[in-house]
Structure 1
Amino acid sequence: MTGFSGLHDSILIHILSFLYAKQVIRTSILSTRWRYLFALLPNLHFDFEGDLWRRGYTSYRHIDIYSYGCLVDKMLITHNMTNIDKLRLKCRAMIDPDRFHAWISAAVHRGVKHLDLNISPGKFTTRPAVLFTCRTLVTLKLCMEFDFVLDVPKGAHFPNLKTIYLEEVNFSNDDSVKSLLSGCTSLEDLVIEKFLMSNISNFNISHHLLKRLTLLYTYQSDYGWITIDAPNLVYLEYDDELVAGYSLQNLQSLVKADIDISNSLEVDGSTFFRGICNVRSLILSDTSLELLLSCEPLPVFANLVKLKIHCSNDLRPYYGQWEKGLETLLSSLPELEKLEFNQALQMKEIVLGRQSIS
């Protein structure tokens, strides 16, 4: 280790950044030169499950949970660390909530920019309040379980938060959604996956700076509405069943949309497709295409230049059902230049009178 010890701190820290937290701590016993280098690491990754798997364990042991907690304590709280750029905590074991909140508070006080929490709800509530006024946070990722309820207080303020990723997170009510989005004055990218709408009557995504929105798989949405009001939105991905109702407003900047909708509720999709009719590039699943063709009247996509239809099955059995509808649809796409399918099909079999489209 003599050769390594002679390197500049910045080089050693870069080397340590490729190791797991537990391995980093072990280097502190090498010499006095290495004793406190871990305190200078800007990125901390604690993966409890990964560490157990690497050691051949398949279940939690009390000693392992205790050791894990002490390790995080040592790196986040015990020593006076420099600012933290990224903190990732992955742990599904039972960690004392007060201890966990102390970790998050320590990260916030050290100016954390990227926070990635993959935990069970037993380890996290809406405390600590300091999290909801974190001025340094740029990226927030929460992967929880459905019985976790996110109750965002009024006055939440994330002035630099640009990206939010939520998986299996259930909001407490409509106001909680509003508090989160209104508090993110710089938000550009929002991803919500496996979202439970049991407490939400109107999931209102209204933000003047939002550029990218991804909504994947909502649950218990039979009576809920989705409102999207985003004048700067350029990309929309929506993969879900239809909800009870939609209000899509001010999407004039939309460039690309990727839509995969199934219609178990047999709700009219006209409102949804009219809301995205300014899009220039559109990807539709076969079920979404079927839903679009059922709209009366068909929306006019005045700016659409590229349409791709992603087929889960061979389209040929549906030619008779869709051929006339596709011909009518093309009349609603005056600027269309390119029509694609994800299967090698002869365009002339389904596209009539538009030989310039390939």
Structure 2
Amino acid sequence: MSSENVDMLSRLPEEIVSHILSLMPTKHAVRTSILSKRWRYSWMFVTNLYFTENIRHSHGLDSFSEFVDQVLKFCKSPQLNLFRMHLVTLCWLQRPSVSKWIDKAIRLNVHELDIQVNVLELPLSFFTCKTLTKLRLDHIAYDHDVWESVHLPCLKTLDIAIYTNPLVNAFKLVRGCPILESLSLEVQCCKDEEDYLFDVPTLKRLKLTLYCSQSFNNKVVLIVPNLEYLFVGGNLCSLFVMEDVSSLVEATVSFTNLSIGYLWVELLNGLYRVKSLSAQADGFPYLGNTFCSPLPTFPNMKHLELKGFCQSGLISKFLESSPELKHLCIEKVYELLLQEPGYTSWIEPKLVPPCMLTNLTTIKFSNCKGHKCDIQFLEYVLGNAEVLKKVTIIWESMSSELQLPLCTQLLKVSRASQDCEICFHARPLTLIS
């Protein structure tokens, strides 16, 4: 309010008011209609619609459905930038209701759809929407025949979760997006005879999460010549065939089962060109004989992150296979694996890895509990890495009384690099030398 008691907010241009209201949940935007006559219809021109609810009772679901119906009935925006519906409820939401709401959003020339509901059926208008550029769907109930006619000519970002018949649902949708650049796909793998083929020349980012209880004979084939970033996670249940990933720069692999060693090694073979690699093991950090086979040489890799693995031999193998490595990050797990073979001692490479002589400059060791193999590894790199600039050690669940002797031991190690700084971090202890 100015000194003359003029409502400056209400005097803003209508497009500015509409933009402000578009940044808040739709139910809050609608409430502004009671402020004054000036505000009565402003919410109708919002360009974003947000419907996010946690509903526990059927009468709440009825009220929510009626509210969405009314909002879409009176919405007068010529173009929707975003239609988002995140609905958490144990009540049964009728499929036709959601389908009708999506259809209305499409008729309002929506650019981005973000739908997370417990059951979903897509309207026919969705499959040929010409304005959609970004799509996120959590689950889909479908009609098989409809997917044959998918054509989304402007869609660049697709994030979907498919739990039944991925060949019918997911891949036919992907093939209907001619300029797709970013794809996040979560699928429940089936005993499909056909390979999972990703032949998408325009794709730059791919996040693929697979869920299955056994290995399958079908392959995951990547023909993505412009792909720059790849994430693969979930369960490693199929052989990956990298036919064309010539532009790949960064990759993350994160699995809950790595017992099928040849699938893991073959996946790494396909990623040998990457400059940055993050390998994560969730739930199965000890891999037994998984890494008996030689790792590929990574001639371009500058950054390596190993997270969740416990055996020291794996670190040694990666160092030997990465001649250009500059930055190494390690986060170890321990739990009940202290007695596993190959865990209690650091396995020194037969020769000092080339990266330690010419390139390796930083090491970050997280979750360090000061076990024998950890200290041996740290002593080895300090004594052999000739261009090392900084080693950061983050102690985990250790008292100061236990940390101090280990810090002292490492500080006394003769360093191959005179410029190397060692930083210790833990609560409440922090030392730098």
The TM-score by the shorter chain falls in which range?
0.7 to 0.9
Counterpart for residue 114 of structure 1:
112
Distance 1:216 1:349 in 2: 38
Counterpart for residue 68 of structure 1:
64
Counterpart for residue 224 of structure 2:
230
2:303 aligned with 1:306, yes or no? yes
Choose which of 81, 84, 98 in structure 1 pairs with 2:96: 98
Letter of the 1:198 partner, please give it.
C
Deviation per residue, 1:256-281 (Å, 9 max, x gap) = 11222332345442321111111011
Distance 2:197 2:227 in 1: 15
Deviation per residue, 1:120-140 (Å, 9 max, x gap) = 12xx22x31111111111111
Distance 2:223 2:39 in 1: 52
Q: C-alpha displacement at 1:288, in angstroms?
A: 8.2
Counterpart for residue 219 of structure 1:
212
Return closer, same or farther for 1:19/1:339 CA change in 2, 3 Å cut-off.
Answer: closer
Distance 2:110 2:287 in 1: 46
Q: TM-score, normalised by structure 2?
A: 0.68
Counterpart for residue 156 of structure 1:
150
Letter of the 1:88 partner, please give it.
R
Q: C-alpha displacement at 1:149, in angstroms?
A: 5.9
Return closer, same or farther for 1:76/1:8 CA change in 2, 3 Å cut-off.
Answer: same
2:334 aligned with 1:337, yes or no? no
Return closer, same or farther for 1:150/1:263 CA change in 2, 3 Å cut-off.
Answer: farther
Deviation per residue, 1:172-198 (Å, 9 max, x gap) = 3424333212211121111124x2113
Distance 1:213 1:150 in 2: 26
Gaps of 5+ in 2: 332-364, 367-373, 390-433
Letter of the 1:90 partner, please give it.
H
Distance 1:200 1:163 in 2: 26
Letter of the 2:188 partner, please give it.
L
Gaps of 5+ in 1: 53-58
8 Å contact from structure 1 (residues 211, 234) kept in 2: yes
8 Å contact from structure 2 (residues 259, 287) kept in 1: no
Choose which of 21, 28, 45 in structure 2 pairs with 1:23: 28
Counterpart for residue 56 of structure 1:
none
Return closer, same or farther for 1:16/1:292 CA change in 2, 3 Å cut-off.
Answer: farther
8 Å contact from structure 2 (residues 131, 154) kept in 1: yes
Return closer, same or farther for 1:295/1:157 CA change in 2, 3 Å cut-off.
Answer: farther
Distance 2:166 2:307 in 1: 35
Q: C-alpha displacement at 1:292, in angstroms?
A: 10
Counterpart for residue 18 of structure 2:
13
Deviation per residue, 1:276-335 (Å, 9 max, x gap) = 1110111223668958972634312121122222246xx5xx44xx1xx65454343232
2:38 aligned with 1:43, yes or no? no
Distance 1:7 1:138 in 2: 30
User: Which secondary structure does the structure 2 equivalent of 1:153 belong to?
Assistant: helix
Distance 1:66 1:184 in 2: 35
Task: Please report the RMSD computed on the Cα atoms of aligned residues, expressed in angstroms.
Answer: 3.0
Deviation per residue, 1:82-129 (Å, 9 max, x gap) = 2111001122343332232221111111111111101012xx22x311
Larger C-alpha radius of gyration, 1 or 2? Answer: 2
Return closer, same or farther for 1:303/1:79 CA change in 2, 3 Å cut-off.
Answer: closer
Distance 1:44 1:34 in 2: 18
Alignment of 1:240-251 (within 5 A): 240-251=234-245
8 Å contact from structure 1 (residues 270, 295) kept in 2: no
Q: C-alpha displacement at 1:231, in angstroms?
A: 0.9
Q: C-alpha displacement at 1:42, in angstroms?
A: 0.1
Q: C-alpha displacement at 1:234, in angstroms?
A: 0.9
Return closer, same or farther for 1:8/1:225 CA change in 2, 3 Å cut-off.
Answer: same
Q: C-alpha displacement at 1:350, in angstroms?
A: 5.3
- Report sequence identity in percent: 27
8 Å contact from structure 2 (residues 222, 241) kept in 1: yes
Alignment of 1:249-288 (within 5 A): 249-261=243-255, 262-285=257-280
8 Å contact from structure 2 (residues 33, 43) kept in 1: yes
Return closer, same or farther for 1:291/1:205 CA change in 2, 3 Å cut-off.
Answer: farther
Return closer, same or farther for 1:129/1:180 CA change in 2, 3 Å cut-off.
Answer: same
